[in-house]
Structure 1
């Protein structure tokens, strides 16, 4: 786990904790809706009785962070900084992997698929007001099948079969060894919002 907390951020958070009336107060760090475009990186107070058994611990010189286990891969390379100004200052958290964690061939197959969908496929579909998301991964005799759902302008689009087979499926199957195909569960008979978000 590679999280950077600058000296000024540690000092600022330490001051906030010292003003709390609970002994042993720490900082909890987590990502809400990790791996989605709605992901948000959060810091919160963590009293000793709020520590969860499988939290990862990051001990700094003056304070302790408890990192929510599910958030760990999404917080890799996170950067917490505090910059002082005349109004007091600004705490900033940058977590480049919050929306899509870094993956490797050893990562679970759903994380590998989501990584490719969010980082490569959806940016292209967004130009047409569309997107695609993974619903589930089904294991069949010949290998894994990714069950996908198209949304936005892709739903009801007459070119969706071509997009699915030539674009999405070709990219995913080529990049993920155990994946043999994709299946579309979108109801493309609903055309009233095709091409519109």
Structure 2
């Protein structure tokens, strides 16, 4: 099975750590935070029986179970968990060469490509103001309808951010798009409530 590989040393080290926990049947869970983005971090956590998620995939090792997070799994392709000894004792290392690789390309559906750019390039910038933006829909004429949340909602600078920042980035990177609108843009009348 492709995917994540544990070296013998890593398995032995983790088995030893798990044996010191006061829970029978404890395993580990592997997941990536912000997979497919420059901020991806590969994480290993203790996983007591019942703590795994229903969509996790079980990967049984000789001495314990590994639960692989379903969303992270494609990004864990060719990942290696190793235990390297050094003068100070040793440390567990995780190399996941595909953790930061986007799972989108020019053939991916339009909404996936838009969401990817929002998550990797737009939202990290808005996060410093406690804000975020998400895609609601793409309507006729290649117009992306976005919804602002958090610190952006009700901010007087939303229009500037939308036109100068987000629209320029998205339209430049995604040829099918012609414009970007805020979901609360009152010039868009199709969905207006009367």
Q: TM-score band, normalised by the shorter chain?
A: 0.5 to 0.7
In structure 2, the gaps of 5 or more residues are 126-131, 149-156, 183-194
1:45-64 pair list within 5 angstroms: 45-64=46-65
Q: Aligned pair in 2 of structure 1 residues 107, 11: CA closer, same or farther (>3 Å)? A: farther
Partner of 1:129: none
1:139 aligned partner: 138
SS at match of 1:21: coil
- 2:139–2:145 Cα contact (<8 Å) kept: no
Paired residue secondary structure (2:104): coil
**TM-score normalized by the length of structure 2:** 0.62
Which residue of the partner structure matches residue 170 of structure 1?
Answer: 172
Aligned alpha-carbon RMSD (Å): 4.2
Distance in 1 (CA, whole Å) between partners of 2:34 and 2:56 is 17
Residue number among 173, 177, 191 corresponding to 1:180 in the alignment: 177
How far apart are the structure 1 equivalents of 2:168 and 2:48?
Answer: 52
Is residue 36–residue 103 contact of structure 2 (8 Å, CA) maintained in 1?
Answer: no
Q: Is the 8 A contact 1:31 1:71 kept in 2?
A: yes
Cα 1:17–1:167 change in 2 (3 A) is: closer
Shift in alpha-carbon separation, 1:57–1:109, aligned structure 2, 3 A: farther
- In 2 relative to 1, CA 19–91 (structure 1 residues): closer, same or farther, beyond 3 Å? same
Distance 2:133 2:56 in 1: 27
SS in 1 for 2:177: strand
Alignment of 1:73-112 (within 5 A): 73-104=74-105, 109-112=110-113
TM-score (norm 1): 0.61
The total of aligned residue pairs comes to 173
